[in-house]
Chains A and B, each alone.
Chain A
């Protein structure tokens, strides 16, 4: 009998589960849980946060804030993780809130937030937005309109001009707070380019056979996936005079200008001037540059955090963590340059921001604002931007010696100054940009395919979405 009883117990437990599921139903709203951690030293304003206090309305003080970032502060592995982990106690001290940081891998951050918002799950109070996917969040309505808050925030006047355009939707409302800016640029080894680095695509193609003969790729980088489309393809298309989308968001990439871009990459791959991994998924493309097998690297200001250890063609090694790039620059064996330009045209760089957003469904808004107000003060802003390889948006933070005096950052800032944001594609952003990357990769790898026809087909399809 007892055995029967045991099995019956399991069975009845299941019934309970089943009834719970039926009772809650799909329509039950998500409950925002707020861990009841006691605030420690809630009333301890610090020197770093002088302006944040007055803007907080005198409502109940929030006790905790939950973040979703790419940084693992649980078990910090990279230098970025460690810096942020060390910063958390400061944030807790300054805001009097318990900070719970949950790391998400970079390629799942957006998907996870989208699922959480759309399916009514646990959304974080603060979400790390990469504004290259701002269109995705805007289209799905994942972020709250925070226009009023931003315009009255203490750091508003300090923001870099135009930084906000990265967070502004087509409806003119602001959905996130840009904390730092990044841009694409080129790293190269001057020892392989004794006559200077080529400014345009045809100059590079003219110089490439020499490098090939010496056993080097002229250039590497990534043209695949959304990432490649944004930072490698789009700037070059713009430089040639083409565009992804017009002002209304209609796709217009099937143009002779884009054809020239595809032809350029086709030539690079066909002649072996660039490794074929520029077309593959992932980041294998960076290894030829990191090991001194490629002369230059289409990348961005953020890459300095990842390009280590670095070994130059001459065999010099830089294995100093995130400082490797800076050290190589100071040693004169590495240089940065603006992105390649079309023949006879100016170089175009594209910028985007890392920003803080408040997801739809968050009720703990005061906590989110308190967090943002703190990280937008000079020191945290500078620290955070630095670890991501970005330029801070707060004017005061730019006076930080790391930015003001460094050769690298001066170079980055000069490239960033002339940079433009992505074309306004809002609905189906990821799908459209990925389609572009996929189309270009396919055309680059198939030397016989008709480029314009291929682009045309993809364009029509994307314009017929919805």
Chain B
């Protein structure tokens, strides 16, 4: 409600500028996207219908898609992706919101806390992966050694569940500031007076959170959930740098599987088909979220 009115100032401009809409200003961006984003993507989709060998392309129709659907690695990677994305999403959103609410209280140290929490997001995924795998290195990793007495010398990085937990923790570590800043942005739009008057009316902070805050940040919640799950599904660099999809295939999400198919197996046709499948999954998820949260 609030957002709609403030975000659309064009209502007042609309009539006067009717004749002078500088739509050509869109062209640099649109042409860039067309040439360097849409065209290559369409070309990839064309590749997904063929097989390349010795530099020659042979059309094989939908065979690559059939191969994906027959492949148990694919289904396994889907379930890994689901686990990874679910934990990543829930924790990022939950903690992100908590952090944003606490940031919003604004005390002297807030900028310092914000800076600390922001730092991981400016690190490269490769750097982050290096740091995390180093902390959990079996013999010399400081966290691994610190945890050893409690987990019976269980090498976390070498165990399927442990490796998955590390990868999820590292991803949250890296992306948490993004969701919290996103929520903070939304919380800023709530005037302080609203809370104060609610408090005067005797509302508890819990109640005012649900009655005032939640409705206002709801659109942001949608964006946050959408972006975070897309990030989760497509996450690659950090997983590669931390575990390379291992041990075994324990952290081989669909994105890692796609990377392996294209890069390691050199099967570009099937990799392109996989990327189409992933795109479809992303779109379906987006539609579902929008339907669910628009209500």
Interface residues of A (CB under 8 A from B): 7, 10-11, 14-15, 17-18, 21, 26, 108, 110-111, 114-115, 117-120, 136, 139-142, 224-225, 272, 275-277, 279-282, 284, 287-288, 293, 360-361, 428, 430-431, 434-435, 437-439, 441-442, 445-446, 457, 461, 464-466
Contact = CB atoms under 8 A, between A and B. Distances in A.
A7 B25 CA distance: 9
13 contacts: A14-B32, A15-B31, A140-B266, A225-B246, A275-B139, A279-B158, A279-B246, A280-B157, A288-B139, A361-B55, A435-B73, A445-B160, A465-B67
B186 interface: no
B70 interface: yes
A224 B247 contact: yes
A431 B39 CA distance: 30
B215 interface: no
Contacts of B243: 280-281
Contacts of B279: none
Interface of B: 24-25, 27-28, 31-32, 34-35, 39, 43, 52-55, 67, 70-73, 133, 137-140, 153, 155, 157-160, 163, 243-250, 260, 263-268
B158 A360 contact: no
A10 B29 CA distance: 11
A120 B72 contact: no
Highest count of chain A CB atoms <10 Å: which of B31, B67, B263: B263
A276 B266 contact: no
Contacts of B53: 118, 139-141
A111 B266 contact: yes
A272 B247 CA distance: 17
Contact of B72 (A21, A225, A282, A461): A461
Contacts of B153: 272
B31 A14 contact: yes
A225 B260 CA distance: 12
A446 B163 CA distance: 14
B138 to A, nearest CB: 5
Contact of B35 (A21, A115, A118, A430): A21
B105 to A, nearest CB: 43
Contacts of B32: 14
A292 to B, nearest CB: 12
A348 B31 CA distance: 61
Given A10-B28, A18-B34, A461-B72, A276 B138 contact: yes
- Nearest 4 CB-CB pairs, A to B? A141-B54, A276-B155, A276-B158, A442-B248
A236 B261 CA distance: 28
Given A18-B35, A276-B155, A280-B157, A441 B248 contact: yes
Highest count of chain A CB atoms <10 Å: which of B53, B140, B158, B263: B158
A120 B55 contact: yes
Contacts of A224: 246-248
Highest count of chain A CB atoms <10 Å: which of B157, B246, B268: B246
Contacts of B264: 111, 430-431, 434
Contacts of A457: 72
Contacts of A446: 160
B139 A442 contact: no
Contacts of A284: 137-139
Contacts of B28: 7, 10-11, 14
B78 to A, nearest CB: 16
A18 B67 CA distance: 35
B54 A275 contact: no
Contacts of B35: 14, 17-18, 21
